[in-house]
Structure 1
Amino acid sequence: MNTATKTKHIGRNISRIRELRGMKQEALAQAIGISQQSVSNIEGSETVDEDKLKAIAEVLGVSTEAIKNYSDEIVFNIIGNTYHDNSSSLNYSCTFNPVDKIVQLYDEKIALYERMLREKDEMMARLEKLLNK
């Protein structure tokens, strides 16, 4: 039985990585200086010119090898092995006391208002002095 190796579809890999990055075709096209239709054509082709592949890889923040060897299965394995849902545990430890922070911000606000009032009073005194001359 002859088992042929499955060829990688580079365009599809580019599309998947772009989508995982939350990037639209228009944004990728603009970043590499081509039209959106050209990006669509690239994503539809099995092979991509090495220079274009390098430019696309740079914009997507991955290596050309990552694009060539991309696999949804590998991505899901990585996510499955590294993502931990801690919503059931209430071990949230804040590094500061939120109430203290609110009090600090309130004190800063009061100090700012007092400074503004002093400056207003000084300005009014200067204006009155100019008017009395």
Structure 2
Amino acid sequence: MSEIISNKLSLHKGRKIERVRKLRGWTQSDLALKLGVSKQAISKLEQSENIGDEKLTEIATALGVTFEGLRDFSEEKVLYNTNNFYENCGVSASNIVANVENINNPLKETIEMFERQLEQARKELLEVVKQNMSSK
């Protein structure tokens, strides 16, 4: 019985859209914005078992995947491709952590720069307020 349900879900195009959307880290609102529709339309779409190829192509483009990738999406393929990618490219957890630290470092510097600019703007505003108070 669970095999029948599993097969039914693997063919469910709306659920494929939902899974790809979630893997991208997007909300229904994010996808709705990309497609120019309401969040409710995305919810309804993700519940649809059958979606035409033209609409599926539009959704795939919005999600940044190929039509075939979305149409043929399955959790098993994602896991298989992910496992094989990491096994065959020499990526280790320590390499990933090092890359994340490199990515976050410029972000940290940018935040520090904005904090300095904000502090300078506060000082300038305070000076303007003091000048206005003394001229009254």
Please confirm whether the aligned pair reaches a TM-score higher than 0.5, indicating the same fold: yes
Q: How many residues are aligned here?
A: 85
One-letter identity of the residue aligned with 1:87 = S
2:88 counterpart of 1:81: no
Which ranges in structure 1 are unaligned for 5 or more consecutive residues?
89-133
Query: Percent identity over the alignment?
Result: 39
Tell me, yes or no, if the aligned pair for 2:13 and 2:50 is still in contact at 8 Å.
yes
RMSD, matched Cα: 2.2
SS in 2 for 1:87: helix
Equivalent of residue 45 in structure 2, options 25, 42, 48: 42
Tell me by how many angstroms 1:14 deviates: 0.5
Equivalent of residue 69 in structure 2, options 56, 66, 69: 66
* TM-score, length of structure 2 as denominator length: 0.56
One-letter identity of the residue aligned with 2:39 = Q
Q: Which has the higher helix share?
A: 2
One-letter identity of the residue aligned with 2:83 = G
Deviation track 1:43-89 (CA, whole Å, cap 9, x = no partner) reads 1111113332121111111122111110101111111111232529x
Which ranges in structure 2 are unaligned for 5 or more consecutive residues?
96-136
